[in-house]
Amino acid sequence: MKHLSQEEILELKTLLVKWKTELLEDFKEVVDEPLSYEGGDEIDRADAEAGRIVRLKNLDKHRKLLKKIDYSLQKIDYGTYGICEICQAPIPFERLKARPVANLCIECKEEQEENE
């Protein structure tokens, strides 16, 4: 990741750590939330259940994102961060700043999306 300066790497690392902290806070909120089933009728219960499913789905997204963040932080430590995993091209700082967990350059990313 020679194309990134120490300051830039530090800035991206700060972004990743901050993002991770926010996600972990969200986790705590959902887990701490009391279940409001008591006293409700069937419909309330169904609503509560549906809401819970939505939150759990979000948690799943969170979890995947957290993995990506951890992975990116690891790559910073290993010195492989900011390099496209397919073509090894350096990923521009601006792109990383917009999406710190990006592991592909724009060209490879677009190609991947087309093939999906």
Give SS3 for 90: strand
Decide: is 108 part of the binding site for Zn ion (CB under 5 A).
yes
Decide: is 59 part of the binding site for Zn ion (CB under 5 A).
no
Going residue by residue from 63 to 92, which x/- string records binding to Zn ion, judged by CB under 5 A? ---------------------x-xx-x---
Q: Using an 8 Å Cβ cutoff, are 63 and 56 in contact? A: no
HSE (CB half, 13 Å, CA atoms) of 33? 15
Closest contact distance (angstroms) between CB of 107 and Zn ion is 5
Decide: is 111 part of the binding site for Zn ion (CB under 5 A).
no
Question: How many Å apart are CA 61 and CA 63, to the nearest integer?
Answer: 5
Query: Which C-beta is closer to Zn ion: that of 30 or that of 87?
Result: 87
Give SS3 for 79: coil
Q: Using an 8 Å Cβ cutoff, are 9 and 77 in contact? A: no
Going residue by residue from 17 to 56, which x/- string records binding to Zn ion, judged by CB under 5 A? ----------------------------------------
Q: Using an 8 Å Cβ cutoff, are 100 and 72 in contact? A: yes
Tokens standing for 7? 């300051």
Closest contact distance (angstroms) between CB of 83 and Zn ion is 9
User: Which residues, numbered 87-106, are part of the site for Zn ion (CB under 5 A)?
Assistant: 87, 89, 105
Residues at the site binding Zn ion, with contacts judged by CB under 5 A: 84, 86-87, 89, 105, 108
